[in-house]
Structure 1
């Protein structure tokens, strides 16, 4: 090995070390942008927001995300069963009905949440199960007028009369 080859190897090693350092810094910056403070083990986003508001928003967002994921999985399972050639025609008819009902319930839940938010409620969750609707609403106090308004919205969208309203301070 001559001197020239030795210098090339040392320069390449130096470049590899620099690339490793740059990658480490870049990944740390991305974690910070994503809201992770790796040095302190904290979420930097939660340091900048009011803890009470974050908890309430997280509760409703997480609940909605869980509900939506469950419904999407159920729709996917129903669709797979409908498309399965080994399923009898009668069973497919039942599955098609379930699929349609769930798809309509998802649409209605979203519409109820949107209408109630437009009426001034900050956080709203709606669950529709066959002939019953459950509305979880963030509020300090729920008056009879509020309850009646919520029931009217649910009835207008779904024609369901059995409405359970659950106030939440979370």
Structure 2
């Protein structure tokens, strides 16, 4: 079985991606390759941060790898939180980030938003990027306990439930990361 390092320390992301890959590849974590470094995310863009993290791991650990970066973009907030999604409230606390976003959205009728994910794959000396987007809207209050991050307040287009209510199997068919991972898997499958 072929193996790739997923350049993240986020156990939820690893679980989602491993589930989406369905055992087609062995996913190595940063810990499994001996990387305890904090990966850089200083470019100011989602595609740039994805590339920067993958490049760091490939250069320092000489291993084929992929990294993702993702963000929630809310139309009424001019694309915020965007690249600052994980620390929107000044902390990585999911509940605080959700509460901060909902507070900023109080009284705003336009609740359109999207999740955007970019995966950068570095395999040998080649680099490839894959993007997934899921459109939706921001709920007025958190609903559901599934998923992580903003899942309890994001309602994907065509549904009435939040990602927090829909469950991992459904989310993996709809999510921005799932769409980017599907492109990654298709690309890897075509490589033979």
- Please indicate the TM-score interval, normalised by the length of the shorter structure: under 0.3
Q: Of Structure 1 and Structure 2, which has the larger fraction of its residues in strand?
A: 2
Rg larger for:
1
Q: Which structure has the higher relative contact order (CA within 8 Å, separation 6+)?
A: 2
Q: Of Structure 1 and Structure 2, which has the larger fraction of its residues in helix?
A: 1
